[in-house]
Each structure stands twice: as C-alpha cells, then as structure tokens.
Amino acid sequence: MPTAYLSHPDCRRHDMGDGHPECPERLDAIEDWLIASGLGDMLERHEARPVDLADVERAHARAYVAQIGDLLQGCAASGKPRAIDPDTFANAHTWSAARHAAGAAVQATDLVLDGRADNAFCAVRPPGHHATRDQSMGFCFFNNVAIAARHALDVRGLERVAIVDFDVHHGNGTEDIIANDARVLMVSIFQHPLYPYCGGVPKGTNMVNVPVPAYTKGAEIREMIEAQWMPALERFRPQMIFVSAGFDAHRDDDLGQLALVEADYEWITLRIMDVARRHAEGRIVSCLEGGYNLDALGRSVEAHLRVLADL
Ligand SMILES: [Zn+2]
C-alpha cells in the first residue's frame, strides 16, 4: 500500500506578508525536492477536502471556531489582511487554507484507517500545533493534528492514539487541547527556553515533554528520545500515531538553535515506524508543522517520507 500525500492549492495561497518565514515557498521547496529526488512519483497524491467544522469543534471551543471563522471569512470577503498576533496574519485565502489543512489531516486519518494507505503525510499550511483550544497563535489557526486525533477517537472509535511532536518549538496548543485526555499520549522534544516559552512542566499526566537546551546535537537528542519517548510509547500501545512534523530543529534553520540533520529525521521516523508496526498496524498520519530553511526543509521532508514509504 502506498504512502498518501495530501495537500491543497489554497494552502499555498495563505500568505502572511513579505519576509515572513512561514511562507508559501515552503510548500514549493518540498514539491521541488520530491520531483528532483523522484520520490514524488512513489506517493499517492490526494487533493485535501475542507474540514467539517464539527471535526474542528472536537478540538477547539465552539465559540472560538465561530469567532475565528467570522474573522477569516471577513478577510476572504474584503480581501484585506488582518493581524491575529504579532507573528500571525490572515489574508483572503487563510480561511480556505486552514480548513483544507485540517481537512487533510482528517482525510488522511480516514485513508489510513480504511486501509487505503499504509500511512500519510499532509504537506499543509498553516501549521497547527500552537493553536490552543480557544486561541490562534504562532502562525497557527486550527490544530490539525489534535483535530485528526480526536476524529480517530470520537468518530472512528479508536481507544488510544499517540501524538509525536519533534518541532523545535513546544506544541503548546496540542498540549492545551489533549492534556489529561487519557486516550492520548503526547511525546515531544523541543528547544527550551524558546517560543512559546512553556512546556518545561507538562500540563497533564499524559504528556512526555523533553525540553532541551540550545545547541543540543542529534546524538544527544536520539539518546533522550530512546530513553524517554520509547518506554512511554511502548507502555501506551497506541492504535495510531499522529506526528507534528516540524523540521525547524534542523541545524540550518534560523528559528531554533538545535542541530538535527536529515539522518536524525530519518532515525526518528524509523523509531516512530517501529512503534506503529508493533502496536498500530503501521498506522501513521504525519502533518507538516515548522521548517523555515527552504533547502533543509525539502531535504528533511524527503528523508521523513522515504522512511514512511519504505523506500
Ligand atoms: Zn516550530
């Protein structure tokens, strides 16, 4: 069975302004690298559907969904951009992009659970892991991974799912949404202190947070993942694994000061695959989060996808 690759043209049309690191060209960089490497031909491509707002409301407060929906639809109608916070901006396409990014994650979940793909990667933006239950922040509007995880639990009837987050920034939004939801185990590693300046103390008993100082190298990060994530995942026996796949812990990425390279992303993906094969029938849905050095992003996504696709 192939690895599914989901995206949507509107994810590229969401634009937060000149010079913003979370830029449309990130998706081009991934696409270019998939074409150059030939890997793109090995994946089964799907155009994402927009998310059903009932799915969004499984992770976000109904009032927040209504409020951000009004604001973003206002931008779409007027064509005028709006600032959401000092780092986060909406343009006329943000509403559609956010709905298709979350929709991709839900659709990927269904593809994998229906046995139509072994696993899936969502090449989407805006990213999601900073979006809390009732707030957009840090380039994020809807928490794509949390929405998909709740869909797997509430709609598809799974009992235990894991969320793995290796973005350089702490996934505070995902933590906010799933803290103390005993059906979810979240394991993460992130630079600390760094935006959003929390995560040092986990918010729930179902979180394994591994904060690491700036300039930590790949070998040390692998040791910490092996010692802290793996026993927790093994005990939890997730029936499906969701990945917040941020590639901004790469040594060439200026938004963080960690020193991962492509081989580390390959290794992390192999470790996730190993747990998924033992407990989850191999079921993995991975969603793009950060990654701002365009070259490093393209190469790292290729390394991640090559392992997922078993190539
Ligand atoms: Zn990040």
pLDDT by residue for the chain (311 residues), tens digit each?
Answer: 899 999 999 999 999 999 999 999 999 999 999 999 999 999 999 999 999 999 999 999 999 999 999 999 999 999 999 999 999 999 999 999 999 999 999 999 999 999 999 999 999 999 999 999 999 999 999 999 999 999 999 999 999 999 999 999 999 999 999 999 999 999 999 999 999 999 999 999 999 999 999 999 999 999 999 999 999 999 999 999 999 999 999 999 999 999 999 999 999 999 999 999 999 999 999 999 999 999 999 999 999 999 999 99
Spatial separation of the C-alpha atoms in residues 110 and 52, rounded to whole Å: 13
pLDDT reported for residue 219? 98
Catalytic residue among 130, 169, 250, 279: 130
Tokens of 262: 């492509």
Residue 1 pLDDT: 83
In angstroms and rounded to an integer, the radius of gyration of the C-alpha atoms of the chain is: 17
Q: What separation in Å is there between the alpha carbon of 115 and the centre of ligand 1?
A: 31
**Alpha carbon of 171 to ligand 1 centroid (Å):** 8
Q: Give the 3-state secondary structure of residue 58.
A: coil
Q: CA 251 → CA 39, 195, 224, 272, distances in Å?
A: 24, 17, 18, 21
Verify whether residue 130 is a known catalytic residue.
Answer: yes
Q: How far is the CA of 63 from the centre of ligand 1 (A)?
A: 26
- Give the closest residue to 245 by CA, choosing from 166, 150, 300: 166
81: cis peptide before it, omega within 30°?
no
Distance 78 CA to ligand 1 centre (A): 30
Ion ligand 1 contact residues with beta carbon within 5 A: 167, 169, 246, 248, 290
299 neighbors 254 (Cβ within 8 angstroms): no
CA 144–ligand 1 middle distance (angstroms): 14
Contact yes or no for 31/139 (Cβ under 8 A): no
Distance 98 CA to ligand 1 centre (A): 17
How far is Cα 8 from Cα 271, in angstroms, rounded to an integer? 29
